[in-house]
Chains A and B, each alone.
Chain A
């Protein structure tokens, strides 16, 4: 049962194609676990369609149609980035994450950050300040208390955590910004695995976190 969904604003940004890749990945992963949000996305896309339908036309060059028909004749048609995604094998992660998680979470090359806390940086949007990573917390382990300079999206993939904002289980997504300070803790007997996307470094609230900052590399 998914209780925490992306906000309408976040979902509309996703639908409009305005999210940075990591955030888009998190929303797409949530949607692949949540049929309600797949519906909301389809509705948003219909709004995009209606806006396109009533859009003020702009002038197109006179021979554009001829050029396009000529390219159809030659069979020289464009591909797109959606064409080459093939899925095989059984992954523990939702489809959009499958290329990073080919099998079980246990089989990933986790790196230890602190006792009971592991992570993997995913190679997404690496040229920007954004960080896209999987975090794994052992039962009862909490991250250092922190707040945010930018936005943070957390999607629970396995297990659950609790923090000042509530309890988050598989498929739940948490959106936080500069106004939120929290300390998520894995709250059941199993590890909690999350996808976490941030667009700016975190701010740690205490000395331990500040010392860990370079290691976290947030």
Chain B
């Protein structure tokens, strides 16, 4: 069994990869993220073999870009989510992508003044968000997941759930509003 990971331990592992090209740390990250990324791509509609390949490519990108990871700006899961999302866009569209990789997060302006230990800050955000998501009504979590994982537009989510599109949008708005309000003290 792989060891239990927390947002903090994942940040430490990713930093070890970035700073020291630590392969043991990379193997631990792999054990945690590869199965989750596999689900992510499968739910996005990729066939098993394609999803497998995309997982490997994503983790190679993680290895290559790890030196750019800054734990004061984003947690490990957030940083890897952005890489995976971009990889999915690149894979299925030939066209250039206009979501710049991690640029938004690496923007120094975006990082609110971290309170206390900087490196704990982003991981703490992830832990608290993770808990806050558990507190959301299940219907709101469902639309978030359909939107983030299954690559569906709001009208596709609406027809999938047999709901008016206004309901889908208001659930997303409510969920985002609640999550932001819950992290107000660190997200200002």
Residue B77 lies at the interface, judged by CB distance under 8 Å to chain A: yes
Q: Which residues of B contact A206 (CB under 8 A)?
A: none
CB-defined contacts of A114 to chain B, threshold 8 Å: none
A49 within 8 A of B: yes
In the complex, whether A46 has a CB less than 8 A from a CB of chain B is yes
**Chain B: number of interface residues, binned into ranges:** 35 or more
How many Å lie between the Cα of A63 and that of B119 in the bound state? 33
Asked, given contacts A9-B169, A50-B77, A51-B148, whether A42 binds B110 with beta carbons under 8 Å apart, the answer is yes
Question: CB < 8 Å: which of B84, B90, B133 contacts A81?
Answer: B90
Contacts of B64 in A (CB 8 A): 77-78
Q: In the complex, A12→B96 CA distance in Å?
A: 20
Chain B residues near A42 (CB, 8 Å)?
A: 74, 104-105, 107, 110
Distance (whole angstroms) from the CB of A73 to the closest CB of chain B: 10
Return the chain B residue nearest A76 by Cβ: B60
Known: A8-B172, A17-B88, A72-B60. A60 touches B104 (CB 8 A): no
Which of these, A13, A17, A28, A56, contacts B86 with CB under 8 Å?
Answer: A17
**Interface secondary structure of A, over-half rule:** helix
> Do A38 and B109 touch across chains, with their CB atoms under 8 A apart?
yes
- Is residue A43 contacting chain B, with contact meaning CB distance below 8 A? yes
Secondary structure of the B contact surface, majority rule: helix
**Contact partner of B84 among A21, A52, A64, A72, CB < 8 A?**
A52
Count, A-B residue pairs, CB within 8 A: 203
Q: State whether B100 touches A85 (Cβ < 8 A).
A: yes
The one of B34, B100, B105 in contact with A82, judged by C-beta atoms closer than 8 angstroms, is B100
B61 at interface, CB cutoff 8 A: yes
Q: A164: CB under 8 A from chain B?
A: no
Is the CB–CB distance between A8 and B177 below 8 Å?
yes
CB distance from A124 to the nearest CB of B (A): 7
Say yes or no: A24 contacts B90, CB within 8 Å: no
Q: How far is the CA of A49 from the CA of B57 in the complex (A)?
A: 18
CB closest residue in chain A, given B122: A46
Interface residue from A14, A17, A57, A68 paired with B36 (Cβ < 8 Å): A57
A49:B126 contact, CB within 8 angstroms: yes
Bound CA span A141–B177, Å: 39
- In the bound complex, residues from chain A placing their C-beta under 8 Å from that of B126 are 46, 49-50, 53
A46-B74, A64-B55, A68-B56 given as contacts; is B130 within 8 A of A53 (CB)?
Answer: yes
Closest chain A residue to B175, Cβ basis: A47
Query: Of all chain A residues, which has the CB nearest B176?
Result: A8
Interface status of A71 (Cβ within 8 A of chain B): yes
Say yes or no: A39 contacts B77, CB within 8 Å. Answer: no
B60 close to A78 (CB less than 8 A): yes
Per-residue 0/1 for B113-144: is the Cβ within 8 Å of any A Cβ (1 yes, 0 no)? 00000000000011001100100000000001
* Cross-chain contact A52 with B74 (CB below 8 angstroms): no
Instruction: Please state if B99 and A24 are interface contacts (CB–CB under 8 Å).
Output: yes
Q: Shortest beta-carbon distance, A175 to chain B, in Å?
A: 12
Which 6 A-B pairs have CB atoms at the shortest separation, nearest pair first?
Answer: A49-B78, A57-B35, A82-B101, A49-B77, A50-B129, A58-B38
- Sample of 23 A–B contacts (CB below 8 Å): A8-B173, A9-B172, A17-B85, A21-B95, A24-B99, A28-B100, A35-B109, A35-B110, A42-B105, A43-B183, A45-B78, A47-B179, A48-B81, A49-B75, A50-B77, A50-B78, A52-B81, A55-B40, A55-B149, A58-B39, A65-B34, A81-B89, A81-B90
